[in-house]
Amino acid sequence: MGAQPDANTEAAPIARAVADVLGDDLAGLYLYGSAVTGGLRHDSDIDLFAVVRSSLGSEVRKALADVLLRISGRWPRSGPARPVELTVVVRGELVPWRFPPRTDFVYGEWLRAEFEQGDLPTPAEDPDLTILATMVRDCSSTLFGPPAARLVDPVPASDLLRAIVAGLPELIGSVRGDERNVVLTLARMWVTAESGVVVSKADAAEALVTRLPPEQATVLRLAQAGYLGEVTDEWTHRGAELDSFVTYAEQQIMDAVQASG
């Protein structure tokens, strides 16, 4: 499934800037996420996944950080530039596949303050990379290099379940201030735990919303509508409803993991 033209157009200058920094070490660069699964929304990031041949040196890390701080739009979005999320992975972490995989470099707007202070990421185990690698392999647009399936091994269903379990505590702990994203990510985890397939957040919400009790359905519908740009999703006075949804979704996810495992 290819990206919509506007997504490729918006991603192209960012991809060129990243490729210029990574140089000959870059094996492949891919656009994934909402850009290819349903189209960019107003609040959508540009999600990029870079596969490199070797771990980045300190000078390359700094150069990449400088470029991303300059071209990535801030969050919440207030201008024409979209926030950029870039994940860099050494090919040896992806072929042969192993769990947990390691990211070599990650940039996202939630890390801007650390980057501005010169605190740059180093290689680290990242269970969430299991989900990202599956998304990139199954549904991405190639910006540089061969199709992603040639650089990313298939991820076993059992490792998807392990990644979901490993990622739940941190995700739930970040719910305040990131309500929409957490609610929709929980929905995606739930669908993946049941089906073994990684779907878009919007598709996950659509699949679940009619199955939920009324209180939980209201929370998911609000997050879905906010994501689609249909409403401004305000969470200030919905703490109890939000907590109820999170608790319910967590239990359903763990039940699905147990049933699938």
Residue 90 is which amino acid?
V
- Predicted confidence (pLDDT) per residue in 18-57, tens digit: 999 999 999 999 999 888 887 777 778 899 999 999 999 9
For position 34, what pLDDT does the model report? 82
Closest CA to 18 of 74, 83, 80, 66: 66
Phi-psi region of 26 (alpha: psi -120 to 50; beta: other; left: phi over 0): beta
pTM (predicted TM-score): 0.90
Residue 253 is which amino acid?
I
The conformation of residue 100, written as its DSSP 8-state character, comes to S
Mean pLDDT, to the nearest integer, of 230-237?
92
Using CA atoms, how far apart are residues 100 and 33, in angstroms rounded to an integer? Answer: 21
For position 3, what pLDDT does the model report? 44
Residue, of 145 and 8, whose pLDDT is higher: 145
Reply yes or no on whether the pLDDT at 1 is more than 60. no
Task: Give the 3-state secondary structure of residue 186.
Answer: helix
Reply yes or no on whether the pLDDT at 187 is more than 70. yes
For position 73, what pLDDT does the model report? 87
Closest CA to 34 of 170, 205, 209, 157: 205
- The whole-chain average pLDDT of the chain stands at 93
Using CA atoms, how far apart are residues 99 and 165, in angstroms rounded to an integer? Answer: 13
Q: What are phi and psi of 252, to 5 degrees?
A: -65, -40
pLDDT tier at 77, thresholds 50, 70, 90: low
For position 4, what pLDDT does the model report? 43
For position 116, what pLDDT does the model report? 96
Reply yes or no on whether the pLDDT at 186 is more than 60. yes
User: Which residues are annotated as catalytic?
Assistant: 85
Reply yes or no on whether the pLDDT at 123 is more than 60. yes
DSSP string, 208-256: HGGGS-HHHHHHHHHHHHHHTTSS----TT-HHHHHHHHHHHHHHHHHH
DSSP string, 14-82: HHHHHHHHHGGGEEEEEEETHHHHT---TT--EEEEEEESSPPPHHHHHHHHHHHHHHSPPSS--SSSP
Reply yes or no on whether the pLDDT at 108 is more than 80. yes
Domains of the chain: 7-154 (3.30.460), 158-260 (no CATH)
For position 49, what pLDDT does the model report? 98
For position 2, what pLDDT does the model report? 46
For position 78, what pLDDT does the model report? 66
Using CA atoms, how far apart are residues 3 and 151, in angstroms rounded to an integer? Answer: 19
pLDDT tier at 79, thresholds 50, 70, 90: low
Reply yes or no on whether the pLDDT at 6 is more than 50. yes
